Amino acid sequence: MSENTEEVKLLEAQIMHLQAEIKTLQQQQQVNCKDITFQFTGQMQDALAFLCGQTQDLEEMVVSRLKEEVEELEEDLKLQTRIDGISLNSCIRKTLQNRGQEVVQLLCLSGRCSELVFQVEFQLSEVKDGSRTERKISDLNLVLDSNDLQSLSSFLSRVEETQDLLLFFRTVRTFSERFDDRTRTFQHFQEKFPSIVSLPEGCGSEVMTLNHPELPGCAFFIHWSMEVSTGGAVTPNIRLLSKIPERATQLFLTQPAGGGAAEAFQSLLRILGPEAAIESIIRTVSLSEDAELSG
């Protein structure tokens, strides 16, 4: 009888121990459920909603985020274009090789800076050395669409040789600014003196023609070109060329014996600057009084 009593007590103790362990496990389960519920928020909850077919709110949220990102990128692009004047139309990137720490890519860019259209193709090598990444440009190829390619040819050859892409974009910007200056000046004088000034090849051409309707066969030409050094310096070169019959030479007020007119114009350029010098020549060609009326 005593043996049975001891056995019952032992069983009761084991039952109480098991009940306490069950209670502890239940409490732990509640804590774990709370942790799991907390973790299933944000992106994980969105993923579960997607798997369960509840995609409408998720799609709206994703589209909204994408729109915000696109708008931010567009603003950044507009700001960059305003700063450097260069607008990219396309950028194509192709991976040529990927060997662990070294990646070689082929990049093709096309764009414009003012009226100057360009295409740039080059290989970009990236080599990772720990936390550092070394980048190198090779096989640079440049194509420009411009009426002034002759002045740019030596510079482009030098850039392709040195692989100096930064110099290319910096010079393209400066060249385009000088191009725009010439275009605005020619257009201004054509509008101000329409009976005297003509632009046979448009405002973007290098030559502006000056003639007077009452002086047939007598004409002057302002030839405005840009010289670009191999180092990227852009210098305007403005010259006066003349075509004057012998009988009309006395009507030009600055002793216009061919080279004399050109030399006088160069002096005006140094003293007055391009616009004032050109206007002085226009008023001389138009016999002053006519220019005063049309101006």
- pLDDT, tens digit, for every residue of 24-41? 777 776 666 555 555 545
Instruction: Provide the mean pLDDT of the chain.
Output: 77
Same domain, 138 and 184: no
Same domain, 139 and 182: no
Same domain, 202 and 289: yes
CB 193 within 8 A of CB 220: no
217: tokens are 């066969």
Which residues on adjacent β-strands are paired with residue 90? 110
The CA–CA distances, whole Å, from 117 to 143, 187, 288 equal 8, 21, 40
Q: Which of 267, 161, 278 shows the shortest CA–CA distance to 224?
A: 278
- Residue in this structure with the two tokens 């006066």, named with its chain if needed: 240
Q: Is residue 183 in some structural domain?
A: yes
- Residue in this structure with the two tokens 């009593």, named with its chain if needed: 5
Quickly state the pLDDT bin for 223 (edges 50, 70, 90).
Answer: very high
Same domain, 115 and 216: no
pTM given for the model = 0.65
167: tokens are 């110099």
Same domain, 184 and 138: no
Same domain, 210 and 277: yes
128: tokens are 């990772």
Q: Is residue 286 in some structural domain?
A: yes
- pLDDT, tens digit, for every residue of 224-269? 998 999 889 999 999 998 876 666 555 554 454 455 778 888 898 9
Q: Is residue 166 in some structural domain?
A: no
pLDDT > 80? residue 292:
no
Q: Is residue 106 in some structural domain?
A: yes
Q: Which residues of 8-33 are buried (b: 16+ CB within 10 A; e: fewer)?
A: eeeeeeeeeeeeeeeeeeeeeeeeee
pLDDT cut 70: percent of the chain above it: 67
Same domain, 189 and 279: yes
Q: Is residue 260 in some structural domain?
A: yes
Q: Which domain holds residue 2?
A: 1-30
Q: Is residue 10 in some structural domain?
A: yes
Q: Count the domains in the chain.
A: 3
Which residues on adjacent β-strands are paired with residue 110? 90, 119
